[in-house]
């Protein structure tokens, strides 16, 4: 099980602290497991100071025959569970790139990095939009942030009771769909109708 804290709130290696957080942060079952289950090892802590992306697609000069993938391209707040999906999608980009025809052995893999950029942008958008809302973060806020946040909150609230929106949001947060899918008219209007008028199906 994973517990997380931000800013000055640091989960420790102390088992009592871990158990208390499992109780506080999750449904009862998780607290029960942490309290009564057998610990297979000690509590391990991990500190991630930042989300980081390396924009290889912007480089004019690149070594030939060399690519980067996974966390070496972009690493995110682990709480959102995007890292392995991103790395897998980078592997798909590489597969597509390699299958797309013969490559000059002395040429940089610009086309590969152009595809990876789409994956990184999508994951980055989801992850940083959530992180920037944390109380101890004070920007910089991207252009249009207030509108995006307003709509995001509306969509999230509506998705708590509407199975259709819940499924669509879930497909984006698990990276099965691109975040742009949430701005399709059908989703926009459904979220507005349910979020503003309060109508929802269980
Ligand atoms: C606490 C935590 C929880 C996470 N939870 C999730 C989650 O729930 N879902 C999710 O999708 N992602 C999660 N992630 C992110 C995910 O683990 C990473 O995004 C993913 O493992 C990145 O894969 P990678 O292959 O790029 O790098 P890694 O998995 O880090 O693999 C790199 C490998 O290279 C090896 N290596 C390093 N240097 C050298 C060297 N010089 N020579 C040879 N080998 C070397 C390392 O030992 C390692 O085995 C989490 C991360 C953390 C820290």
Residue 21 to residue 39: CA distance in whole angstroms: 15
Residue 129 to residue 134: CA distance in whole angstroms: 10
Burial class (CB within 10 angstroms; exposed 0-12, middle 13-18, buried 19+) of 156 = middle
Mean pLDDT of the chain: 92
Instruction: Please name every residue paired with 14 in a beta bridge, in sequence order, or none if there are none.
Output: none
- Give the whole-number percent of the chain exceeding pLDDT 90: 76
Q: How far is the CA of 71 from the centre of ligand 1 (A)?
A: 7
Contact criterion met (CB below 8 Å) for 68 and 94: no
- Kindly state the average pLDDT of the residues 111-115: 96
Is it the case that residue 200 has pLDDT exceeding 60?
A: no
pLDDT tens column, 158-188: 999 999 999 999 999 999 999 999 999 999 9
Distances in Å between the Cα of 176 and the Cα atoms of 82, 147, 167 are 11, 24, 11
- Kindly state the average pLDDT of the residues 20-39: 95
Task: Give the start-to-end residue ranges of the domains of the chain.
Answer: 1-47, 52-131, 145-197
Contact criterion met (CB below 8 Å) for 152 and 138: no
pLDDT of residue 196: 84
Is it the case that residue 81 has pLDDT exceeding 70?
A: yes
Q: How far is the CA of 46 from the centre of ligand 1 (A)?
A: 12
Q: Which atom of ligand 1 is nearest to the CA of 46?
A: 1
Contact criterion met (CB below 8 Å) for 125 and 151: no
Structure tokens at 192: 């507005």
Block residue for tokens 């000055």: 8
* Residue with CA nearest ligand 1 atom 16: 83
Q: Which atom of ligand 1 is nearest to the CA of 48?
A: 53
- Kindly state the average pLDDT of the residues 69-96: 95
Q: Enumerate the H helices of 62-144 as residue ranges.
A: 83-99, 110-131
Compute CA 136 distance to the chain's CA centroid, rounded to the nearest angstrom: 19
Q: Which atom of ligand 1 is nearest to the CA of 85?
A: 11
pLDDT of residue 2: 87
Residue 32: CB atoms within 10 Å: 13
Distances in Å between the Cα of 8 and the Cα atoms of 4, 12, 44, 61, 142 are 11, 12, 18, 41, 25
Structure tokens at 143: 């252009």
* Residue with CA nearest ligand 1 atom 52: 78
Distances in Å between the Cα of 95 and the Cα atoms of 54, 69, 123, 175 are 21, 12, 20, 18
pLDDT of residue 201: 52
């Amino acid at each position: 099980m994973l517990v997380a804290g931000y800013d000055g709130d640091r989960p420790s290696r102390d088992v009592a602290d871990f158990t208390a957080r499992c109780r506080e942060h999750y449904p009862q079952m998780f607290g029960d497991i942490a309290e009564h289950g057998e610990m297979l090892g000690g509590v391990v802590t991990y500190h991630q100071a930042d989300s980081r992306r390396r924009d290889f697609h912007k480089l004019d000069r690149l070594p030939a025959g060399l690519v980067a993938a996974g966390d070496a391209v972009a690493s995110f707040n682990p709480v959102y569970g995007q890292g392995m999906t991103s790395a897998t999608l980078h592997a798909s980009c590489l597969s597509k790139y390699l299958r797309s025809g013969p490559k000059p052995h002395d040429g940089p893999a610009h086309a590969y990095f152009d595809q990876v950029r789409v994956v990184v942008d999508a994951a980055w958008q989801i992850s940083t939009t959530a992180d920037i809302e944390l109380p101890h973060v004070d920007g910089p806020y991207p252009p249009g942030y207030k509108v995006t946040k307003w709509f995001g909150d509306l969509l999230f609230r509506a998705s708590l009771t509407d199975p259709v929106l819940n499924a669509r949001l879930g497909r984006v947060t698990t990276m099965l769909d691109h975040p742009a899918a949430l701005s399709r008219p059908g989703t926009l209007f459904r979220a507005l109708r349910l979020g503003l008028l309060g109508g929802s199906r269980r």
